[in-house]
Amino acid sequence: MLSIRRFMLLTLVLLLSSSAMVTVIWTYWHTSHEVEEVFDASLVQNAKVLRGLVVDHRDRATLHQLQRSVSLAQIDGMPDEDNYSSGTPDDPGHPYEYQVGFQAGSLDGEQWLSTPPEFPAVSAIEPGFRTLGEGDRKWRVYTLRDPAQGIWVRSGHRIAVREELTEQVAGKVLVPILVVLPVLLLLLSLGIRRGLSPLQTIRQSLANRSSDDLQPLPSDRLPAELVPVVSSLNDLFARVAATLERERRFTADAAHELRTPLAALRIHLEKLRLPPAQSADLLCGIDRMERVVTQLLVLARIEPQRGKLPLHPLSLAPLCCTLVAELYPRGLDRGVSIEFEDDVDVEVQGDETLLGILLRNLLENAIRYTRSGDLISLRLSQEADEVCIEVIDHGPGIKAADRQIVLDRFYRESRHDGEGAGLGLSIVVLIVELHNGKLLLDETPGGGLTARVLLPRIRLS
């Protein structure tokens, strides 16, 4: 996944290490160039001094003596601090003596002087700078011809000397870079983390809020880059909240528009105090319209809440009590009685309005489909991790094969009195889903329908 922190760290690591690399390479190149200039100049000088010596000694025929005074003992391998032949206490010598050499001879091919022993012997006398030898034994030499005296002179260095010097200088530059770079990167990583912490704070506060929380994010003490982001988010929250509020208002308005005329219709009918035989059909029609309106409004209210319904701890027994009390007179009109077995009280996580609607729908269904003189029971029970609400009737029940179909919206069983809105059970299913529960339809022993709602139980700590 794309991460700003990782991207910035990676970029900085790459930039810093490549700039360190460029510094080291440039230092190496520049140093080696300068070292070359200095060493070359010293070769030329050495050659000129040697020429003077050789010219002097040739005349006095003491070349042999000169050769002995500068010659070095043969040693094995590369000379270094422990591996060189020292001279006398008066002349302790130095291992680098072996890295520096001279040759001299006459232009007619005779070689008079050569030291140290590794100095490559070359017969061709070409004046100027040349590189002689192979591999470890490469030498940089300067040859000087003096036709007037009939001599040539050559001075040289092992190339390894120059390279060592260059490497040491470049190494001195590299060491601080290698030490400082990791520390720098660590500090950078901390700095980036600190710099991005406002983002982390926003992420946290978004992750922790519940999904229906549309409060704006706090926008004080924000870095300038985040102000537009947070204010856009807050705008979005405000718009969503406004939309939700409009929707809620629309539902409420629709409820008012539909329920008020229904209320008027009912009260006008009831005030006539007609004998039941005359008013029954009218009342039945009004009942049915009321139910359809209620159920549609309930659906309109629940649907947008799917997945984001706030649930609160709720005691079910008082709710059951209220609903039975409310619906009992309606049952009585049909000769049906309702009882609530209030042996246990149970707590669930729920929404009171919706659970009330659920109980009402289950009870109304039971009332509608129960024969006069029968009893409907509402029962609460709890098991290890479930709470069970049962509505038990002794009506005709529902055939096992049809139990799924009745849960679908607007389905209504044909053999009944046509009073239902067909929405009741599908609303129950919706509400049960919103509470992470299950609805089971079973047969009551001895006939009838048992609707069983299972909800997760609250664990009391």
Partner 1 sequence: MELLLIEDDELLGRGICEALAQDYRVEWFRDGQQGLAALLDMSPDVVILDLGLPGIDGLDVLRSARRKGVTAPVLILTARDGIEDRIEGLDRGADDYLLKPFSLAELEARLRALYRRAHGRSDEKLSYRGLEIDTRLRHASLDGEALLLSRREYELLMRLLDARGQVVTRRRLEEHLYGLNEDLESNALEVHIHNLRKKIGRDLIRTVRGVGYMMDRD
Are the beta carbons of 423 and 364 closer than 8 angstroms?
no
Output 354 or 455, the one with its CB closest to partner 1. Answer: 354
Please name the residues in contact with 159: beta carbons below 8 A apart, sequence gap of 6 or more.
131, 138, 139, 140
**Beta bridge pairs of residue 146:** 151
Could you say whether residue 32 binds partner 1 (CB under 8 A)? no
236 binds partner 1 (CB under 8 A): no
Q: Does 313 bind partner 1 (CB under 8 A)?
A: no
- Using CB under 8 A as the binding rule, whether residue 328 contacts partner 1 is answered as yes
**Considering beta carbons, is residue 271 or 415 the nearer one to partner 1?**
271
Contact residue for partner 1 among 106, 231, 322, 444 (CB under 8 A) = 322
Task: Tell me the site size for partner 1, rule CB under 8 A.
Answer: 39
Reading the block at residue 103, the tokens are 């040759």
**CA-to-CA distance for 74 and 95, rounded, in angstroms?**
12
Residue 77 corresponds to which amino acid? G
Q: What does the alpha-carbon distance between residue 386 and residue 344 come to, in Å, rounded to a whole number?
A: 14
334 sits near partner 1 (criterion: CB under 8 A): no
Among 240, 264, 274, 280, binds partner 1 (CB under 8 A): 264
Task: Specify the residue, 235 or 326, whose C-beta has the smaller distance to partner 1.
Answer: 326
Which phi and psi angles does 340 have, rounded to 5°? -115, 120
* DSSP one-letter string for 101-160: EEEEEETTS-EEEEESTTSPP------EEEEES-GGG-EEEEEEEETTTTEEEEEEEEHH
Q: Minimum distance from CB of 328 to partner 1 (Å)?
A: 5
Q: Which residues in the 268-297 window bind partner 1 by CB under 8 A?
A: 268, 270-271, 286, 290, 294, 297
Q: How far is the CB of 428 from partner 1 (least distance, A)?
A: 17
Q: Does residue 261 bind partner 1 (CB under 8 A)?
A: yes
Which pairing describes strands 151-158 and 139-146: parallel, antiparallel, or unpaired?
Answer: antiparallel
Spatial distance between the Cα atoms of 145 and 154, rounded to a whole number of angstroms:
9
User: Among the candidate windows 132-140, 190-198, 220-228, 334-342, which touches partner 1 by CB under 8 A?
Assistant: 334-342
Least separation in angstroms between residue 320's CB and partner 1 is 8
- Kindly indicate which of the ranges 50-58, 92-100, 221-229, 320-328 contains the residues binding partner 1, using the contact rule CB under 8 A: 320-328
The DSSP 8-state label assigned to residue 92 in this structure reads: -
What is the contact mask toward partner 1 in residues 346 to 365, using x (rule: CB under 8 A)?
------xx------------
Sign for the CA dihedral angle at 213, 214, 215, 221 comes to positive
d(CA 47, CA 60): 20
Using CB under 8 A as the binding rule, whether residue 325 contacts partner 1 is answered as: yes
What is the x/- site pattern for partner 1, positions 47-86, by CB under 8 A?
A: ----------------------------------------
* DSSP string for 273-327: T--HHHHHHHHHHHHHHHHHHHHHHHHHHHGGGTT----EEEEHHHHHHHHHHHH
- Strands (E) in 317-447, as ranges, are 337-341, 347-350, 375-382, 386-392, 438-443
Question: Residue 349 Cβ, how far from partner 1 at the closest point, in Å?
Answer: 16
Which span (149-157, 161-169, 257-265, 404-412) binds partner 1, by CB under 8 A? 257-265
**Interface contacts to partner 1, rule CB under 8 A:** 252, 255-256, 258-268, 270-271, 286, 290, 294, 297, 301, 318, 321-322, 324-326, 328-329, 332, 337-342, 352-353, 378
